[in-house]
Structure 1
């Protein structure tokens, strides 16, 4: 088969931003290894560098299909990432890239039978659609190597028994042969001529056919069946030649260098393609651990410790062994950053009848207005409700104004900002 007709290793490949920016792997390699390339429109908009954006738009974008995942696929990925503890560090484009890979996986393989619904699930969700369910067809157990060998070795003694029977019947006909010596001499001459012809024909066929290895010839001559020549014996008995090795093709895969995305993809069972030296080696689960009271919570959406109430929750990896022992893996030389913990809170200022505050209320440039220090503040409750309402808004709504235009800013990873920040004692605030 020509190289142009060979199947590519991957049919549908979803691209993330990291490999596109670093050009690892190059565009030529991506086109050579995948039949179809997919990405999201927001992935292209994440590339800010002019030279990189021009390179991607010139060399790769004409061969890439822009596609957005369905809301159902996004919901599945979000729920699975919440169970693994990676949802807090995954951005919206990251979740959509995994959702698109999940969607293509279902389309190409006819369902999610080869994926996992839970992070700790041992097996797959189901069986391939084309394979029979146990009990419906082929109730006999799968044949092992020993059983196949036994089946094949039982066939050869039958021929030996037949030859022994023939040899045993020969003495019974010897008296008759003695009575007709002339006929036997003619038969022996004819048999010798036919045997000579058969031997010459076999030699001619052996010259045309390629010579086999000495080990195989010795095995065939001896008649022994070993694991090395089992397939050849099966093909010889069935009268067919061994089939060529089948080239496997990944129906759908995700290309990313983000460790959190790789963790979610591998735990779910999605095919992962990672750049060189950028693939994780251990799968992890994540929890939140309070640095103040050392309490652990599995609710990754919390910002305040449920025990002591302080905003000192930190993300830590964990594992559970075969005996059910739960272990937290802490950083070896971790040091808590105390910057921004000591500062003076601006004095409270009374309100007015019209609801307006004085000019310098909340300190210089009003940096102390709406300062959130605990979970039971009305400012935190109001901000949580606004954030929940903001996620439900449609971006195509005419009354919706994005944060980029409104000037509203939140904390890292879209969380509500707690405290005054690291630069609370800078001159621009006092």
Structure 2
């Protein structure tokens, strides 16, 4: 098949495609993206390549209806917490183009699974442990080794298997021309991204997607939140603190709903239940006021609203009657606000919090 016929008709490109320098002009006939994708790229080399693209890059914003559909699908698959607003817009644009340019293709919009037979909540073993005084470690799923294992003897080995196993299933230089070539048909509308959460939503909705440098998932998964302390399960995938015990121990776990309606969880063998941040140094003293940055310890902790003061709103109102008497709203440096007088806009005013998250470099 010619190379021109193998190209995708309409391709929506995420920031990963530009950063990895994917050959977009050879992958598609029409390339799309949103303005937010280009604005979030900070790599100098990528910015230089975007100025001299060998193809036409079309900018288009998705509709509100498409954003709503994709947000609901991402919430049902459990990936809504891992997606940013730009990622949702890229997915919404792909969904919108699929509806407009390929209406005959079936798109799965409802990702809700059937109701499970098991009760979604705390582990029943933990409920029984509440009646027992002292600590409860739970039942071990590993069998104890008594040191007397079973030995395999040569009598159990079937010698006839080696004779029956011929070279009929192997690909050799002599039969390579007879092997049928399995080539997938190109999608008319697809999305190019390296984000696994975005690929999972696209695969769930049965929308075309391609990866870069082999970074592409093959099987779609559904994720839920599970508390490592009380084993509570939450399907919303947006909770930070456990609704049952209140601790910050919610972890994302892959799951599967079987044919009989039972929920099957895929747990790691050595899960990292708790983080060591905040266990070495003492917590900082709580500070009041608008510019306080206290650590979030509970789900119902009050947070400052960071509302703009009335004086700042009057200063930025270009239609005010006494604008000439006040400071210009287009002034570059802020020297009149209360935050400047208190020193919150100055650098290195306070000591660093050892429990705060440290920057890991600029995002590309």
- Structure 1: stretches of 5+ with no match in the other structure: 123-246, 358-365, 387-396, 399-404, 407-420
Which of 33, 36, 41 aligns to 2:35? It is 41
Which of 233, 253, 268 aligns to 2:205? It is 268
SS of the residue corresponding to residue 270 of structure 2 reads: coil
- Map of 2:223 onto structure 1: 286
- Map of 2:8 onto structure 1: 10
- Is the contact made by 1:343 and 1:425 (CA closer than 8 Å) also made in structure 2? no
- Map of 2:83 onto structure 1: 90
1:99–1:346 distance in 2 versus 1, CA, 3 Å: closer
CA–CA distance in structure 1, aligned partners of residues 86 and 286 of structure 2: 41
- Provide, for residues 271-296 of structure 1, a one-character-per-residue CA deviation record: whole Å limited to 9, x for no partner: 11122321112211111111221211
CA–CA distance in structure 1, aligned partners of residues 286 and 63 of structure 2: 48
Which of 71, 80, 83 aligns to 1:78? It is 71
1:115 pairs with 2:112? no
- Is the contact made by 2:283 and 2:355 (CA closer than 8 Å) also made in structure 1? no
- Is the contact made by 1:289 and 1:316 (CA closer than 8 Å) also made in structure 2? yes
- Provide, for residues 85-140 of structure 1, a one-character-per-residue CA deviation record: whole Å limited to 9, x for no partner: 000000111111111100100111237x6101222589xxxxxxxxxxxxxxxxxx
TM-score (norm 1): 0.51
SS of the residue corresponding to residue 372 of structure 1 reads: coil
CA–CA distance in structure 1, aligned partners of residues 85 and 226 of structure 2: 25
- Is the contact made by 2:113 and 2:257 (CA closer than 8 Å) also made in structure 1? no
Which of 22, 25, 28 aligns to 1:31? It is 25
CA–CA distance in structure 1, aligned partners of residues 204 and 80 of structure 2: 14
- Is the contact made by 2:223 and 2:255 (CA closer than 8 Å) also made in structure 1? yes
- Is the contact made by 2:20 and 2:212 (CA closer than 8 Å) also made in structure 1? no
1:343–1:115 distance in 2 versus 1, CA, 3 Å: same
1:9–1:374 distance in 2 versus 1, CA, 3 Å: same
1:32–1:326 distance in 2 versus 1, CA, 3 Å: same
- Is the contact made by 1:8 and 1:32 (CA closer than 8 Å) also made in structure 2? no
SS of the residue corresponding to residue 252 of structure 2 reads: strand
SS of the residue corresponding to residue 375 of structure 1 reads: coil
CA–CA distance in structure 2, aligned partners of residues 292 and 121 of structure 1: 26
- Provide, for residues 334-364 of structure 1, a one-character-per-residue CA deviation record: whole Å limited to 9, x for no partner: 2332221365455568x9xxxx79xxxxxxx
The structure with the larger Rg is: 1
Residue 326 of structure 1: CA displacement? 1.2
- Is the contact made by 2:284 and 2:353 (CA closer than 8 Å) also made in structure 1? no
1:308–1:13 distance in 2 versus 1, CA, 3 Å: same
SS of the residue corresponding to residue 339 of structure 1 reads: coil
- Map of 2:278 onto structure 1: 340
SS of the residue corresponding to residue 253 of structure 2 reads: strand
Aligned positions, number: 248
Please show how residues 70-219 of structure 1 align to structure 2 within 5 Å: 70-110=63-103, 114-119=106-111
Residue 76 of structure 1: CA displacement? 0.7
SS of the residue corresponding to residue 265 of structure 2 reads: strand
SS of the residue corresponding to residue 282 of structure 1 reads: coil
- Structure 2: stretches of 5+ with no match in the other structure: 115-183, 308-316, 319-333, 338-351, 358-364
1:331–1:57 distance in 2 versus 1, CA, 3 Å: farther
SS of the residue corresponding to residue 52 of structure 2 reads: helix
Which of 287, 296, 319 aligns to 1:372? It is 296
CA–CA distance in structure 2, aligned partners of residues 286 and 103 of structure 1: 25
CA–CA distance in structure 2, aligned partners of residues 320 and 422 of structure 1: 44
CA–CA distance in structure 2, aligned partners of residues 327 and 66 of structure 1: 42
CA–CA distance in structure 2, aligned partners of residues 116 and 330 of structure 1: 28
- Provide, for residues 220-249 of structure 1, a one-character-per-residue CA deviation record: whole Å limited to 9, x for no partner: xxxxxxxxxxxxxxxxxxxxxxxxxxx965
1:250 pairs with 2:187? yes
- Provide, for residues 145-183 of structure 1, a one-character-per-residue CA deviation record: whole Å limited to 9, x for no partner: xxxxxxxxxxxxxxxxxxxxxxxxxxxxxxxxxxxxxxx
- Is the contact made by 1:266 and 1:272 (CA closer than 8 Å) also made in structure 2? yes
- Map of 2:253 onto structure 1: 316
- Map of 2:355 onto structure 1: 424
SS of the residue corresponding to residue 106 of structure 2 reads: coil
